[in-house]
Structure formats: C-alpha cells, structure tokens
Structure 1
Amino acid sequence: MAEQSRRTVRDLRRGNRAEVLQRLYFEGPLSRQELGVITGLSSGSISNVVAELATEGLLEEAGIVDSEGGRPRTLLRVAPGSGYLIGIDVGETRVRVELFDLALTELARTDRPLIHHGYDVGWIVAHIRDAVADVLREADIETERLVGVGVGVPGIIDRSDPDGVVVHGQTVGWDAVPLEAMLRDCAELPSDVPFFIDNGAKTLGQAEMWFGGGRGVSDAVVVLFGSGVSACVVVDGMLYGGAESRALEWGHTTVRVGGRRCRCGSPGCLEAYVGAEAIRERWLETGRPPAGSTDEETALATLLSAAVPAEGGPPADDAAARLLDETAEYLGAGIADLVNLFRPERILIGGWAGLLLGPALLPAVRRYATQYAMRHPAERVTIELGRLGADAVTRGAATLPLADFFARGGGRRRQEEPDPVGGLAAKPDGRSWRPVVIDRRPG
C-alpha cells in the first residue's frame, strides 16, 4: 500500500509539471498568477513546480509586466536551450534530418538523396546515422542533450514487437521492417535517447494542429499530397501530443473500378490518379514534356506552367489544363469521402506537391468536393492549404519526442521505462490527443 501511495504522489507531481510546461509552451509567457488561474493548481503547487523546473533549467524568465495595484509580475517561458530534438522525414527521394531546440527553432539540417539506392532500408538507416551526426556536429550539440529523435516514415506502424516499431510499407517494398531496432543498433547515440517512429501523415497533421492551419479546430483532416497521397484525421480535437496511428490507407481506396494500376498493385486507387508519380506518368503519356528521366517535381512544374502560363506567355496547353482539372476532380472526390466519413471543420492540403499545385488546384478541388460530398457536412467544412511549408513533416516528427517530454513533466526517459500515458501528452482535461492516421505516402 505504501508503494502504491508513493507511485500516486509521483504521478501527481509529474502531471503538475506536465501541465505547467504545456501551458507555458503553448500559451506563454505567463506569470505564476496566470498559471494558477488556467491550470487550477494552488499557488503553493505552482511555486513548487516552477521552482523545480527552473532549478533544472527548463524554465527561464521572459520579462516583467505591471500588475494592477500590486508588485510587477515576472513572466516565465520554457527555456528553448534546455533540450534538443531531431526530426526526420523519410521521403520519396531523400531523407531530411533537422535539429531543433525546444522552441522548434531550426539549428541545422541536411538532406540525403535516395536517387541511386531507392528505398533500401539498410542504406536509409545509414543515411540517418550519418545525418544525425552531421547536424549535431554543425550545431555543436552534445548527444546527451537530446530529448529524443522523431522519424516520419511511409506505411503502417506496428508496435506489437517487443524490440520496437516495425514498419509495413507495401508500396516502397518494406515488409515488416524492424526499423526501430535497426536505428538503435546503428545510431551513435546514448541508449537513453529515445526514437519515436510514426506514419509521416501523422507527423504532418500534428505539426499543422500544433503550429499551423489546424490551431483552434476540433475536427480536421490534414492531407499529405506528395509522390503518393495520405491523410491524418483528427477527431474530438487535439491540443498537446500525438497518438497511436491507425492505417486506413486513404490513397489506396478505389475511385475507379478497373482503373489505372497503382503502385500497391491494385487497380483504380486514388493514388493512381492524384499522387505526384501518377500525375508525372499521365503527363508523360501526353507526349508534351520531354520523356525519359524527368523527375516528379520538374514534371509537375512543367505541367503547371503549361496549364497556367504566366501573363504574356504562350496560350495554355489544353492537354495540361485537362490533366490538372481531372486531378482536381479526383482529389476533390477523395476529399468528399473524408468529409462524409469524418465531418471535419477544416481540411488542410500539405506535402510538396500540394504546395506546388495547391494554389492552382484549390478552387477546383473545393468545387468538386462540394459536388461529391453530402450537403450538410460540406456546408460546414473549409478546405485550405497547409501553412507550414516543405518542412512540415520533419517539424512534426520533432513533436513526437517533444510530446513525450511534456508527458513526463520534463523528465528524461530512462531505458526500459514505461510510457506515463502511452507516450502522449494530455489535454488540460486529462484526455490525450487521439487522431486517426491514414497511411502516408512520403513526398
């Protein structure tokens, strides 16, 4: 009984620390008095928690404000340099690795192309090992100061293996890849620096919900539009943290019976019509652009300039314009399915192809989504472009260890230590953030 009591006291203390850290991170800087009001903790509890966190270097002063009829109040914030995070995006043509401080300010980055080795997992793991060492060296950060490493990958995430995350990425040839174990064996990091591996659509969704176009929204869908397509569906709101992913494979739902063959092997998948690789193939089939080795980004940029030429340039290419409109219709129809199924308040389109084609496609996508969706949910949804740019997946990957850091009340994970709340940071009402992830294809 005494042991149970000690565990309860420890958990309460950790929960109070987590609450203060999260409030300061997302709503700060704040004074001690303001923290008491918004957390509901007593002034004594706030004083104790703040003193603890400040002694550990996790909090710092952020200025002084006058108070009405009283002493000036000191504002507090989470100290950006009190820990560091690494975010990794295992993309279609490259691995991107970025180092951040706790405020998610980028300190260093490196890209490793995958052109010559494709999705060979051994090569990718070696890329990650070398890139992590490079960004730490560039920023002169010791490995012991890392809070954790987040990795966004394609495919379905399986957490049932005792040795760590296993990835099933059918379209990239990954069959039960023990990625976490491989990274731990290969990475030159202390054993207590944790890896957090998740579907890349979730990392994009988490980034947009924390810092981008999803802020303040209860129900949302964040679409990753890259070489393939995928989505992160958020239900009942999320504020801090992430959740276990559940692969629903939106890009591999059938939109045309007997249609084009998808990379997954099935005919008529949504991805076979709106993924960047599929758009490139369809554009090459028209015979308009140079054939051969044209990469996806160049092909899509060529298509866009042909369909929507600059003012004073040549007339629009009819084949390019038809292809773009057809792409918008398929994407709009796929989004309409998400509208009907999840009834979100907002849909955000991100990913590198979404950023490139989105401004030109968005009006037509909205029109087709409204045409194919049921009227009531369609009337309450807004469809917009993501706001975080090309690094959203990498930035989102870094939020995975950050969420765990919050859940632990700023404590560092010890080897073999269980998750306090499944590795997820909690909302102020004690519920954790529970998005549904639809299988992500990287871009």
Structure 2
Amino acid sequence: MRLRGEAVQVERASHRGVRLRNRSALLTRLFLEGPLTRQELSRRTGLSQPAVSNVVNDLIDDGIVAEAGALESEGGRPSTILRVAPSYGAVAGVDVGETGVRVELFDLGLERLAQSCAPLTAGASPADVADSVLAGLRTVATGHRVLGAGVGVAGIVQQRPEGALVHAQTLGWESVPLESLLRRGTDIPLHLDNGAKTLGQAEMWFGAGRGRRHAVFALIGSGVGAAVVTNGATYRGTSSSAGEWGHTTLMYGGRRCRCGASGCLEAYVGAAAILDRAGSSGAGDEETRLAALVAAASAGDPAARSILDETADYLGAGVADLINLFNPELVVLGGWAGVALAGLLPRVRASAARHALRQPFAQARIELGRLGLDAVALGAATLPMAHLLTTGGRRQ
C-alpha cells in the first residue's frame, strides 16, 4: 500500500517529467522551425494553448526564449512571434582533421561569433591534438558564456560514462581517451562524435538533408567516412562504427590502405590517395596540392585530368554501394576534398548509375553538401545544442 507522502512524491516527479518533455518539445520546434507564434507551437506540438503559454512564459523568464515581433492578424490582437534567444549562451564546434583543428563558436541562432584554426603536424599525438583543441577553445570562448562544446574527430568514437574513447586505425590511435585528455584542460561540457556523423547532423538540420528521412552523408577529406541516416536518426551499429564507408573494399587485392587492408575505397578517393596516385609530393599541404591538381586538370593537363576522371569513377562506384545497401533518397558529398572535387559531380553520378541497381538509383539524388568547409564544426556544435534542447534549456 502506497503512503500518502510517497504518492505526492510520485505525482510531483511525474509533473516535472511532463513539464520537461513539454519544454523540450517547444524549444526544439522553435530552434528548428522558428520563429513561431504560440498558436503555431500548439498546432505543431499537439499541446493545448494554455500548456504552451505556461511553458513559454517559463522559458521567457529563464531567458532562453525571446519575443521577436508580432504577426498581423485579421481581427483581434496580433500574435507574438517567439524564437530561441541567441544571446542566452554560446556553443562551440570543433573539427579535428588530420591536417588541422578548426574551432568555431556560435550563438544559439548558430551565427558564428568567433573562429580559430591551427595546423597539425603529420603524426600528431593525441596529447598534441588535445592541446590544440584546448587552445582553440580558450581563444574563441573569451568573453562568452559557453554552454558546451562538440568535437568531431576521425575514427570510431566509443561512448563510455567515464569519457569517450577514439579508435582511429589510420592514425594509429587505439582506445585513445581523448575526452579525458580534454577534460583536464577545460570545464566546458564536452560531447564527442565521429566527424562524418557531425557533418551529417549539420546537413540534416540546416543543409541538403533538411526535411529528408533517409540519407547518406559522405565526408571526403584525407580519409573517407559516411553518416547513414535512416528514418531521421543516425544509424550507429553496435559500437558506433557504422559508416566506415572508406574501408569497404572497392578492389580485391588493390592498393594498400592506411588502415592496413588492401583495396579500400579510401585508398582510391581519399585526398592522400589521390595525391599519391598523381605522384604529387611537392611543397604545400594536402589542400594546396589537391587544389593545384584540380587547376591543372581544368587547364588541360591530360595526366591530371585522367587521375580526376578515374577518381570520379571510383567515387561513383562507392556511392552505388551506398545506394544498393541503404536505399537512401539522398546521397550528399561533403568534406574539404569533396568541396575541392565538386566539378566531378556529373561524372560521379554517371558512374553511380552504371554500378547501382536501377530501381534504388532512380529513387536517389546525389548532391553536394550545402555547408562547405564549416560543416563538421557546425555539426559538432549541434551536439551541445541537441543536449540543451533535450534537457529543456537546462544548463549542464
């Protein structure tokens, strides 16, 4: 038999849970679809207008929601327009690439406030990478209230209560406690994920994938990865390693990949592999040398043109595998090398058409990402933002 005091506690806990869910639902709608009126929020969430008004008033009192003008109405009082308050705080997004670290700070409207970029030396240790990330965070955080930081990194990110581990075989990283290394130097709440998955999240929220339910987002940089979105959610697999598209076998017994296997897709379409196939060993970083290769091809250099045409054919075959396996409505090509190779898109599409099954290929669009070089960092910033929305705007 339940005592009266226990019943009251259960009722209060239930009430708090309902209120938290309502706060989260309203904030999420405002962030992703706003600005909106109270009436629009009621229609889109299914909550009653009194419930919406009560929760919205609390959110305004807390400072996370602000009024943004009024909407003219046909008779009666104008409807107040609401939005998530950009000045409530800031979130940071970190893109840990193989050649550098990009740290960006955004307000809650995800307008960029500050940026820091620093190169990484080849073979940089986990400690060096952590130091570079922390230095970037200190630079962009000055003068701002940072609610959280997301970090997109190459490799498999294994989430654990004591901190995420990174398994990046191509970098020689095995069970690297990167989150713990970062926590030693900052009290900003941290969220780590694979860089391709953060790129995919950014494109789903703000870019080419907006409004789609089934899509694949390919990150092409020094290496190659992908994020698979099915029914609106990122597919992760048993230990979050799903999406290691770059290490699917393109050619049995083919070129040696940095992961140690032979014939991986990455060994043919990753920037490092393209430059190796082109015999490019000149001065400059990978981005500079790949840009020079693209420029040479555009200027009529037959050797450069041949390498890029071959790359487009390989990439199209890899995209066909994604289409055959996942039946997406959309495949998006992004990453810094993906941006540099944008001119290859027609040939990539033609190659995918040759290699994919006709029916799923006819249902799929192959497009370039819309967020450019900022996609991974912006996507990383959505990690603390998503946490804020889920918790109804409660700071960590």
Shorter-chain TM-score range: over 0.9
Is 1:305 aligned with 2:295? Answer: yes
Supply the distance in 2 between the matched residues of 1:353 and 1:248 (Cα, whole angstroms). 18
Is 1:175 aligned with 2:174? Answer: yes
Provide the residue aligned with 2:132 in structure 1. 127
Supply the distance in 2 between the matched residues of 1:250 and 1:70 (Cα, whole angstroms). 56
Provide the residue aligned with 2:19 in structure 1. 13
Is 1:365 aligned with 2:348? Answer: yes
Is 1:397 aligned with 2:387? Answer: no
Q: CA deviation at 1:293?
A: 3.7
Q: Give the match's secondary structure for 1:186.
A: coil
Structural mapping, 1:186-265, within 5 Å: 186-187=185-186, 189=187, 193-238=188-233, 245-265=240-260
Q: Give the match's secondary structure for 2:73.
A: coil
Q: CA deviation at 1:128?
A: 1.5
Partner AA of 1:147 in structure 2:
L
Q: Give the match's secondary structure for 1:340.
A: helix
Q: Is the 8 A contact 2:228 2:243 kept in 1?
A: no
Q: Is the 8 A contact 2:156 2:166 kept in 1?
A: yes
Provide the residue aligned with 1:33 in structure 2. 39
Is 1:296 aligned with 2:286? Answer: yes
Q: Give the match's secondary structure for 2:278.
A: helix
Using the aligned pairs only, state the percent identity.
Answer: 54
Q: Is the 8 A contact 2:158 2:166 kept in 1?
A: yes
Partner AA of 1:177 in structure 2:
V
Q: Give the match's secondary structure for 1:99.
A: strand
TM-score normalised to the size of structure 1?
A: 0.85
Gaps of 5+ in 2: 1-5
Supply the distance in 2 between the matched residues of 1:337 and 1:347 (Cα, whole angstroms). 11
Provide the residue aligned with 2:261 in structure 1. 266
Provide the residue aligned with 1:352 in structure 2. 336
Q: Deviations over 1:342-377 (max 9, x none)?
A: 01111110001111111x210000000010000100
Query: Higher relative contact order by CA 8 Å / sep ≥ 6: 1 or 2?
Result: 1
Partner AA of 1:393 in structure 2:
V
Q: CA deviation at 1:58?
A: 0.7
Q: Is the 8 A contact 1:220 1:235 kept in 2?
A: yes
| Closer, same or farther: CA 223–409 of 1 in aligned 2, 3 Å | same
Aligned length: 387
Q: CA deviation at 1:118?
A: 3.1
Supply the distance in 2 between the matched residues of 1:50 and 1:244 (Cα, whole angstroms). 38
Provide the residue aligned with 1:437 in structure 2. none
Supply the distance in 1 between the matched residues of 2:62 and 2:241 (Cα, whole angstroms). 37
Partner AA of 1:367 in structure 2:
A
Q: Aligned to 2:363, which of 380, 383, 391?
A: 380
Partner AA of 2:289 in structure 1:
A
Q: Is the 8 A contact 2:225 2:243 kept in 1?
A: no
Q: Give the match's secondary structure for 1:13.
A: helix
Q: CA deviation at 1:399?
A: 0.1
Q: Deviations over 1:108-134 (max 9, x none)?
A: 11111112x633111111111221111
Is 1:118 aligned with 2:123? Answer: yes
Q: Is the 8 A contact 2:203 2:209 kept in 1?
A: yes
Supply the distance in 2 between the matched residues of 1:302 and 1:250 (Cα, whole angstroms). 27
Partner AA of 1:345 in structure 2:
E
Is 1:342 aligned with 2:326? Answer: yes
Partner AA of 1:305 in structure 2:
A
Supply the distance in 1 between the matched residues of 2:244 and 2:38 (Cα, whole angstroms). 46
Partner AA of 2:62 in structure 1:
E
Provide the residue aligned with 1:50 in structure 2. 56
C-alpha RMSD over aligned residues: 1.6
TM-score normalised to the size of structure 2?
A: 0.94
